[in-house]
Structure 1
Amino acid sequence: MIITTPHKPSPELEDYASSLARELGARFVPRKQESLTRLRLRYGDGRLLVADDRGLRYYEESDDPLYFHPSMAYVRVKRMRKGEHDPLIELTGCKPGDHVVDCTAGLASDAIVFSYAVGSCGLVTALESQPVLFAVVREGLQSYHTIHEDVNGAFRRIQMHLADHNDWLAAQPDNSVDIVYFDPMFRRPMHDSSSIGPLRGLANPLPLDPESVAHAVRIARKTVVMKEHKDSPEFERLGFTRKHANKIAYGVIDTR
């Protein structure tokens, strides 16, 4: 993978891009006046990560980048700010002060909603196993800015971990968190967008393991919840009770 910058970057931006290259085991290439297409051809690598003032943009054999954007999460949080209820928050029993673990963070959409719901006295731990996706989202959560400071605070409070969720869950003590959440659905998005489409090439394609669910049940004090397509057989295979909310299907295991 190549990591580069826009044309005429500041020295600080070049240093930042170079440090990302070391973190991700990638090649840092000064941009100079080269186009992204020329860089791909010159180094024989279609994977590009561009670090600029807007955040990180990842390209894979395409001019359609993956980048961080809160998208519908921002819409949902704005509704919550007005006192409206969010179906996922109600279904999980999430309250201020809770510790929520999002095992499949993806672009962190649900982690953002959870983080706003638990507030400054709570905690959201977001796990992502794919290094490039982890870096894009981690940096985005720290730099993305909205006009609402309480929403910005929800972004900043999310604790991202580069980890396989099964390994992470297995290492946790019993009854140590409140809610464990799985969302394999981001790997098969219901709606395409310029930020979601490129996610497909990065996402971990492995199905959810029953062992991961067992560990989740062991450590969760309230609920374990999985989001899937409404006709998915995963609910029955993994022991979840199927529930529906606004045309989205959730599986719930109550551990209380």
Structure 2
Amino acid sequence: MIVTTPQKPSPELVKAAQHLSEELGGRFVLRRQETLTGLRKKHGDESLLVVDPQGLRYYDNAEQPLYFHPSMAYVRVKRLRKGERDPLVDISGCEHGDTIVDCTAGLGSDALVFAYASGPSGRVIAIESEPVLCAVVREGLKTYVTAHEDVNAAMRRIEMRAGNHRAFLEQLPDKSVDIVYFDPMFRQPVHESSALAPLRSLANRDALDEETIRQAVRVARKSVVMKEHAGSGEFERLGFDCAHVNKIAYGVIKPT
């Protein structure tokens, strides 16, 4: 993977790009006046990460780059701001001050809803197994600005971590967090979208296993929640009670 910058970067941006190339095992290349297409052809590499002041843009064979945007999460949070309900918040029992582990962070949409719902005294740890995707979302959460300061603050509170969620859960003490959340749907999106094509090339499509759920139940005080396709059979296989069904469904386990 090539890691580069806009054509006229600041020294700080060059340092940031060099740091990310080391973190992600990429190859830092000075942009100079080269086009992105030219860089890819010159170095024979279709994977390219552009380190921009507004965030990161990741390109592969897709027409559109992958970048961070709160998307529907912003819509959901604006509804919460108006006092409306959110199914995930209700089903999980999320309240101010809660600690949440989002085991399948993806683009950080549900992590943002949790961060807003748990408030300034809450904590959201978002685990993403794919390092490039984790970096794109992590940097986007630091820099993206909405029209609402409380939403911006919620984004800044999310702790993105690259790694294996089962390994993370295994090192947590019993009953040490309030909510553990899984969204395997993210690995197999409901909607086809050319804008999300780079995401699919990065996505980890591994199924959840029983030991991971056992670890989640061990560390959660309130609930373990999973989002899935309705009728997928995953709820029954992993021991979840189906709590909400529409185009998608939520399953929940209440630890004892």
Q: Which residue matches 1:184?
A: 184
Quote the Cα distance in structure 1 between the aligned partners of 2:230 and 2:41.
Answer: 43
Matched-pair contact (CA < 8 Å) for 1:187–1:199: no
Report the identity percentage. Answer: 64
Alignment of 1:97-136 (within 5 A): 97-136=97-136
Distance 1:194 1:118, change over 3 A: farther
More deviation in 30-39 or 176-185?
Answer: 30-39
Task: Report the 3-state secondary structure (helix = DSSP H, G, I; strand = E; otherwise coil) of the residue aligned with 2:196.
Answer: coil
Task: Report the 3-state secondary structure (helix = DSSP H, G, I; strand = E; otherwise coil) of the residue aligned with 1:66.
Answer: coil
- Amino acid across the alignment from 1:134: C
- Amino acid across the alignment from 1:30: L
Alignment of 1:42-81 (within 5 A): 42-81=42-81
Cα deviation per residue 1:131-187 (whole Å; 9 max; x = unaligned)? Answer: 100100100011101111100010000111112001001111110011100001111
Quote the Cα distance in structure 2 between the aligned partners of 1:239 and 1:150.
Answer: 36
Task: Report the 3-state secondary structure (helix = DSSP H, G, I; strand = E; otherwise coil) of the residue aligned with 1:74.
Answer: helix
Quote the Cα distance in structure 1 between the aligned partners of 2:53 and 2:201.
Answer: 24
- Amino acid across the alignment from 1:38: G
Q: Which residue matches 2:209?
A: 209
Are 1:37 and 2:37 counterparts?
Answer: yes
Matched-pair contact (CA < 8 Å) for 1:96–1:121: yes
Indicate the RMSD between aligned Cα atoms, in angstroms.
Answer: 1.2
Q: CA deviation at 1:191?
A: 2.4
For structure 2, the residue ranges without an aligned partner over 5 or more in a row are none
Quote the Cα distance in structure 1 between the aligned partners of 2:245 and 2:236.
Answer: 18
Q: CA deviation at 1:53?
A: 2.2
Alignment of 1:225-240 (within 5 A): 225-240=225-240
TM-score by length of 2: 0.97
Quote the Cα distance in structure 1 between the aligned partners of 2:187 and 2:54.
Answer: 25
Quote the Cα distance in structure 2 between the aligned partners of 1:52 and 1:23.
Answer: 17
Quote the Cα distance in structure 2 between the aligned partners of 1:79 and 1:191.
Answer: 23
Quote the Cα distance in structure 1 between the aligned partners of 2:47 and 2:247.
Answer: 36
Q: CA deviation at 1:19?
A: 1.3
Task: Report the 3-state secondary structure (helix = DSSP H, G, I; strand = E; otherwise coil) of the residue aligned with 1:63.
Answer: coil
Q: Which residue matches 1:167?
A: 167
Q: CA deviation at 1:243?
A: 2.4
Distance 1:56 1:138, change over 3 A: same
Quote the Cα distance in structure 1 between the aligned partners of 2:193 and 2:97.
Answer: 33
Quote the Cα distance in structure 1 between the aligned partners of 2:13 and 2:121.
Answer: 34
Q: CA deviation at 1:188?
A: 1.5
Q: CA deviation at 1:117?
A: 0.3
TM-score by length of 1: 0.97
- Amino acid across the alignment from 1:130: E
Q: Which residue matches 2:247?
A: 247
Q: CA deviation at 1:192?
A: 3.7
Cα deviation per residue 1:79-104 (whole Å; 9 max; x = unaligned)? Answer: 00000010100001111111111000
Quote the Cα distance in structure 2 between the aligned partners of 1:51 and 1:75.
Answer: 27
For structure 1, the residue ranges without an aligned partner over 5 or more in a row are none
Task: Report the 3-state secondary structure (helix = DSSP H, G, I; strand = E; otherwise coil) of the residue aligned with 1:12.
Answer: helix
Matched-pair contact (CA < 8 Å) for 1:2–1:48: yes
Task: Report the 3-state secondary structure (helix = DSSP H, G, I; strand = E; otherwise coil) of the residue aligned with 2:32.
Answer: coil
- Amino acid across the alignment from 2:239: G
Q: CA deviation at 1:193?
A: 4.2
Q: Which residue matches 1:151?
A: 151
Matched-pair contact (CA < 8 Å) for 2:230–2:246: no
More deviation in 50-59 or 83-92?
Answer: 50-59
Distance 1:192 1:54, change over 3 A: farther
